[in-house]
Structure 1
């Protein structure tokens, strides 16, 4: 289980969000930095830790599905750009690496869009 995913202070939505993002960061790190499957380079580990911190402290946790659908942007601009690059690269590859997580993420995103959330970062 990804680090932080068993934190009792996280909601189920936050746990799912953190799992998806950590999986995406792993895909990105393997593709761009040549890391091994269960490892992250220092730069990607820093990003994953930052994301976990933001998710854990989210004031909107109960009313949104993913950070991309949140009206508040709590990521620093540089970190926001880094996570966007990760998602652009890893998003399409999620179907090959973790199809169940990818499909669950797609369903959650579509559900959020139909509820009126914006569904994009």
Structure 2
């Protein structure tokens, strides 16, 4: 399920969201448009040890800089904030604020980048487990 799209031109767009893998686990997904075709790539897989990841926002300022934001489930089944950054070649995943998220219910709901690498995100934390909708099989 695509939840966010960002384009810098007619020949460069990034769509972000999630999909269900063969084990019915939600995995975070980005898909990049080059003007001709889409290329899909899973992000956050190494962090998503409990199988409930998704991206809820993406923002690009150029073909060499994008940020996607969302969440993943850690080994304790806690929802942790996730940021993945595009450098024009590959995505780099980073957990965000895990040390502050003792209850394990953080989600980055969106991201906006305005110039270069200047970005802001919006987050929610809850006192109950986060159950984000994921793609239907």
- Greater strand fraction, Structure 1 or Structure 2: 2
- State the TM-score, normalizing by the size of structure 2: 0.27
If each structure's helix is expressed as a fraction of its own residues, which one has the higher value?
Answer: 1
Instruction: Name which structure has the greater RCO, CA cutoff 8 Å, separation 6+.
Output: 1
| Rg larger for | 2
How high is the TM-score relative to the length of structure 1? Answer: 0.29
